[in-house]
């Protein structure tokens, strides 16, 4: 005990004595990056009132109340693995070499965790990874195998010599939050700042709720969104895509007509019975085989949205646990907490579930950041931001140099809701994965300036143009509307300019 005091006293004296010469590294904040999978902004009550009364997210909302909510937060490529590579590298997909899902992370590019680690941060990654190869740049990691499961997950665990496999019991959002807190307990406050990535599988399909949340929203009829019956008229790629709740969503897998798909097979006997009994009740209308047409559509939506929101509830509960731990441990004051998702998600909009398109519900993504003493409570950030910005932002916060090659921008100038005059005026988007046989979303790229959105489905030779100010649901493709000719030409020029800036060679 005595020697520890002596060391701490010596370190304090040293840092005070050299204050003008050496940056006080202990003053750098801890960073917790909480990253959900497929968490729609609409399902966060700080963003949207759609589920505010019936399924609020009070703990995630705390981040907005005590920090900043980003109202114009978007992704570069709305699909799991590629989005994760964008976060790690600060690069668009064509530069980070992970344009499609299922591709391995390419560590030939610098990553923000690696640079932070080299600059003195204790770094860790827990939960969903989805980039195949062993993570680099982390002192510790435990990653889910493949897509991950909800109950009793098999993890790849970093060891001194490499890695081992370990089955960890429990509901995976709970276990991932626990790993995060365990790393903080072991490392925070020991002189090194900490950066930990806490990455939930939830609320990704097959939307298996925690046993404690099986009865949440039971028998509650949840309204469908205004575009639930969208016929995709005038939008060829949307019409070709295969991701409607009605046709594509599988009753056996997504709605758990086959209980094994819900990952219930690893539950103990008592919990297994609770889960199966609940499923039998929830699936009773579908199982009757009597529903058809709009009745069947609505019932599938109910089954989907109930389980989706139950999974969201577990994320919210675990954000609460982490925030409570930060308060109790005294770490809250010097810890940045972020909540985001690899992309947002369709919750019945356009008749869909899933993601991929540059339309609003998958192009956007939630981003909430609490940083006591630096971000004023209740801050609204309206500047256009993108997931490639997180790497340079964390490097800036951590006092490390951002490589010139990174394409994202440091968000610290907009954290207080101000928008500098020279802030970016538009965002570039590119989805590459038409080979995916399930969803068949044509490759496309596009540009968005906060009001107008131009999308080029180059694979099928289709252009789309939306004025979100008068058409926020993006139902009216105005590419042939003569009153927009000038604006469309400007947006095409802007798309070209962005492609030159980011060195996009294709298509």
Task: Give residues in contact with Ca ion (CB under 5 A).
Answer: 37-38, 80, 342
CB 296 → Ca ion: shortest distance, Å? 27
Min dist CB 163 to Ca ion, Å, is 24
- Residue with token string 């954290």: 415
- Triad 70, 73, 75: Cα angle to 5°: 155
Q: Which residues contact 201 (CB under 8 A, 6 or more apart)?
A: 37, 127, 128, 144, 147, 148, 149, 150, 153, 172, 173, 176
Q: Rank residues 36 and 395 by Cβ distance to Ca ion and give the closer one.
A: 36
139 phi and psi, to 5 degrees?
Answer: -70, -35
Catalogue the E-assigned strands of 159-301. 163-171, 194-199
Minimum separation from the CB atom of position 35 to Ca ion (A): 10
What is the helix, strand, coil percentage profile of the chain, to 5? Answer: 35, 15, 45
CA dist 413 and 434 (Å) reads: 37
CB of 98 to Ca ion, least distance (A): 13
Dihedral, CA atoms, 179, 68, 226, 466, nearest 10 degrees? -110
Least Cα distance to 369 among 408, 412, 326 occurs for 412
Tell me whether residue 36 or residue 331 sits nearer to Ca ion (CB atom).
36
Comparison of 198 and 279: residue with beta carbon closer to Ca ion: 198
- Containing H/E element for 30? strand 30-36
For the bound state, the minimum distance from the C-beta of residue 410 to Ca ion, rounded and expressed in Å, comes to: 25
Comparing CB distances to Ca ion, the nearer of 431 and 452 is 431
**Which single residue brings its beta carbon nearest to Ca ion?**
80
Residue 52: CB minimum distance to Ca ion, A: 23
Q: How far is the CB of 379 from Ca ion (least distance, A)?
A: 27
Q: Tell me whether residue 205 or residue 259 sits nearer to Ca ion (CB atom).
A: 205
**Residue owning tokens 């086959």:** 258
- With respect to Ca ion, which residue has the nearer C-beta, 60 or 375? 60
Q: What is the DSSP secondary-structure string of 63-132?
A: HHHHSEEESSEE-SS-SHHHHHHHHHHS--HHHHT--STTPPP-TTS--HHHHHHHTT-EEEEEE---S-
Q: Which is nearer to Ca ion, 38 or 349 (CB)?
A: 38
Extract the tokens encoding 40: 């729609």
| Cα separation, 434 vs 116, whole angstroms | 35
Between 59 and 387, whose beta carbon lies closer to Ca ion? Answer: 387
Q: Could you tell me the two tokens for 228?
A: 């639930």
How far apart are CB 342 and Ca ion at their closest, in Å? 4
């Amino acid at each position: 005990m005595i020697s520890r005091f002596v060391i701490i006293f010596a370190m304090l004296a040293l840092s005070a004595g050299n204050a003008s010469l050496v940056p006080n590294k202990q003053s750098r904040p801890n960073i917790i990056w909480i990253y959900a999978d497929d968490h729609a902004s609409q399902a966060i009550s700080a963003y949207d009132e759609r589920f505010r009364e019936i399924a609020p997210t009070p703990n995630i909302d705390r981040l907005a109340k005590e920090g900043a909510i980003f109202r114009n937060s978007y992704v570069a490529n709305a699909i799991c693995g590629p989005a994760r590579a964008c976060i790690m590298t600060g690069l668009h997909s064509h530069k980070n070499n992970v344009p499609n899902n299922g591709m391995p992370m390419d560590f030939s590019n610098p990553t923000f965790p690696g640079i932070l680690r080299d600059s003195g941060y204790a770094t860790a990654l827990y939960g969903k990874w989805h980039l195949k190869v062993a993570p680099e740049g982390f002192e510790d990691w435990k990653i889910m195998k493949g897509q991950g499961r909800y109950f009793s997950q098999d993890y790849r665990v970093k060891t001194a010599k490499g890695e081992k496999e370990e089955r960890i019991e429990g509901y995976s959002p709970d276990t991932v939050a626990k790993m995060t807190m365990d790393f903080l307990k072991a490392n925070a406050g020991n002189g090194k700042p900490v950066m930990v990535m806490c990455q939930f599988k939830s609320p990704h399909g097959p939307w298996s709720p925690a046993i404690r949340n099986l009865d949440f929203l039971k028998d509650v009829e949840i309204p469908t969104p205004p575009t639930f019956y969208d016929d995709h008229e005038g939008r060829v790629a949307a019409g070709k895509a295969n991701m409607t709740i009605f046709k594509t969503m599988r009753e056996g897998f997504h709605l758990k007509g086959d209980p094994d798909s819900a990952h219930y097979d690893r539950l103990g006997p008592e919990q297994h019975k609770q889960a199966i009994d609940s499923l039998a009740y929830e699936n009773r209308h579908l199982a009757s085989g009597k529903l058809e047409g709009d009745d069947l559509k609505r019932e599938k939506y109910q089954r989907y949205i109930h389980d989706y929101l139950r999974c969201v509830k577990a994320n919210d509960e675990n954000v609460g646990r982490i925030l409570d731990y930060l308060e109790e441990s005294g770490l809250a004051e010097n810890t940045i907490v972020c909540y985001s998702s690899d992309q947002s998600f369709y919750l019945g909009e356009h008749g869909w579930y899933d993601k991929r398109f540059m339309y609003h519900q998958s192009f956007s993504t939630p981003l909430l950041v609490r940083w006591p003493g630096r971000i004023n409570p209740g801050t609204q950030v309206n500047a256009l931001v993108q997931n490639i910005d997180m790497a340079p932002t964390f490097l800036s916060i951590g006092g490390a140099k951002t490589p010139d090659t990174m394409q994202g921008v440091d968000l610290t100038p907009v954290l207080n809701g101000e928008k500098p005059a020279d802030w970016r005026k538009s965002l570039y988007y590119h989805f590459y994965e038409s080979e995916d046989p399930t969803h068949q979303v044509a490759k496309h790229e596009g540009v968005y300036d906060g009001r107008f959105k131009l999308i080029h489905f180059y694979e099928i030779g289709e252009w789309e143009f939306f004025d979100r100010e008068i058409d926020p649901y993006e139902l009216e493709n105005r590419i042939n509307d003569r009153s927009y000719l000038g604006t469309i030409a400007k947006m095409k020029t802007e798309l070209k300019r962005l492609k030159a800036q980011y060195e996009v060679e294709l298509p």
